[in-house]
């Protein structure tokens, strides 16, 4: 289970990370010290659970929890706080649990196990794999998003490259990123990749590139996107 820790206190984040390291089947895929950074990592790294503090500078954890709830495929939120008085207000964000600091490893494990059970219970009722429509040789077709490697904007059209070929589609990169924020990652102003296939980030001659699983080429990365890509791979 992929977990994101959100807390403005470095020591609090470190403690939760140590507890997760002692539990099997749970992976800390990132840390955020603010709501803004948390949203960035949620979009880029797709955690299944967010361990979320409430009292943070700027947007607090409750407001962030409400924003997370509005996402197309929101991760489960477990509030981890030193303030029991916020419990009633916190439930406006529909959290999976509400833990008080200092959190014991037993209590944390119990909360995560509950989330896992809820996830399995709802698997059968989830939407089917998202699909993208396109026209090829005059025939309308559909392709599951999980088969797409990347999208590339070229002149006035968008090229979709998938595991068995490529096609031209009508949607813009902006429309695609808005439609599939949890699955797609922008690496360049003209390129979106499917995060499932992200294999390697490397630099050469002052430029940055990514390689994708199952594809022999490389894609240029904008300097401004490097940090997001590294966070997603950590």
Q: What is the mean pLDDT of the chain?
A: 88
- Provide CATH 2.40.50.1020 ranges for the chain: 131-233
The stretch 16-43 carries a mean pLDDT of 93
For residue 126, is pLDDT > 70? no
More confident residue, 158 or 119: 158
How many other CB atoms are found less than 10 A from the CB of residue 94?
Answer: 13
Compute, in degrees rounded to 10, the torsion defined by CA atoms 44, 49, 53, 54.
90
Q: Which top CATH class is 2-125?
A: alpha beta
Q: Tell me the sheet residues that pair with 207.
A: 204
Compute, in degrees rounded to 10, the torsion defined by CA atoms 36, 145, 140, 160.
70
- Provide CATH 3.40.50.2300 ranges for the chain: 2-125
Give the tens place of pLDDT for each residue, 50-87: 999 998 888 889 999 988 888 877 899 999 998 887 77
User: 131-233, what's its fold?
Assistant: OB fold (Dihydrolipoamide Acetyltransferase, E2P) (2.40.50)
Q: How confident is the model at residue 96 (pLDDT cuts 50, 70, 90)?
A: confident
Q: What is the pLDDT of residue 24?
A: 83
CB 23 within 8 A of CB 66: no
For residue 124, is pLDDT > 50? no
Nearest of 107, 93, 23, 105 to residue 52 by alpha carbon: 93
Q: For helices 61-69 and 35-45, give the axis angle rounded to 10 degrees.
A: 30
CB 202 within 8 A of CB 219: no
pTM as predicted? 0.54
Instruction: For residue 95, give every residue at least 6 positions away whose Cβ sits within 8 Å of its Cβ, in sequence order, or none.
Output: 52, 65, 76, 77, 78, 79
Q: What is the pLDDT of residue 128?
A: 55
The stretch 11-31 carries a mean pLDDT of 93
The angle formed by the CA atoms of residues 132, 138 and 140, to the nearest 5 degrees, is 30
For residue 7, is pLDDT > 70? yes
Span of 118-122, 147-151, 203-207 with lowest mean pLDDT = 118-122
Q: What is the pLDDT of residue 123?
A: 47
> Phi then psi for 24, rounded to 5 degrees?
-85, 150
Instruction: State how far the Cα of 129 lies from the Cα of 123, in Å rounded to an integer.
Output: 12
């Amino acid at each position: 289970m992929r977990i994101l820790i959100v807390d403005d206190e470095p020591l609090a984040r470190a403690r939760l990370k140590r507890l997760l390291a002692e539990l099997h089947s749970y992976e800390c895929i990132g840390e955020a010290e603010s709501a803004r950074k948390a949203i960035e990592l949620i979009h880029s790294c797709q955690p299944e659970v967010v361990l979320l503090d409430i009292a943070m500078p700027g947007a607090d954890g409750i407001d962030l929890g409400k924003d997370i709830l509005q996402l197309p495929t929101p991760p489960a939120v477990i509030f981890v706080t030193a303030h029991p008085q916020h419990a009633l207000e916190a439930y406006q964000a529909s959290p999976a649990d509400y833990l008080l600091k200092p959190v014991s490893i037993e209590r944390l494990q119990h909360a995560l196990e509950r989330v896992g059970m809820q996830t399995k219970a709802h698997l059968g009722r989830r939407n089917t794999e998202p699909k993208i429509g396109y026209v090829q040789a005059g025939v309308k077709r559909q392709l599951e998003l999980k088969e797409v490697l990347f999208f590339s904007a070229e002149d006035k059209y968008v090229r979709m490259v998938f595991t068995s070929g490529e096609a031209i589609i009508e949607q813009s990169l902006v429309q695609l990123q808005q439609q599939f924020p949890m699955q797609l990652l922008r690496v360049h102003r003209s390129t979106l990749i499917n995060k499932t296939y992200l294999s390697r980030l490397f630099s050469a001659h002052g430029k940055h590139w990514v390689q994708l699983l199952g594809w022999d080429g490389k894609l240029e990365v904008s300097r401004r996107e490097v940090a997001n890509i590294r966070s997603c791979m950590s």
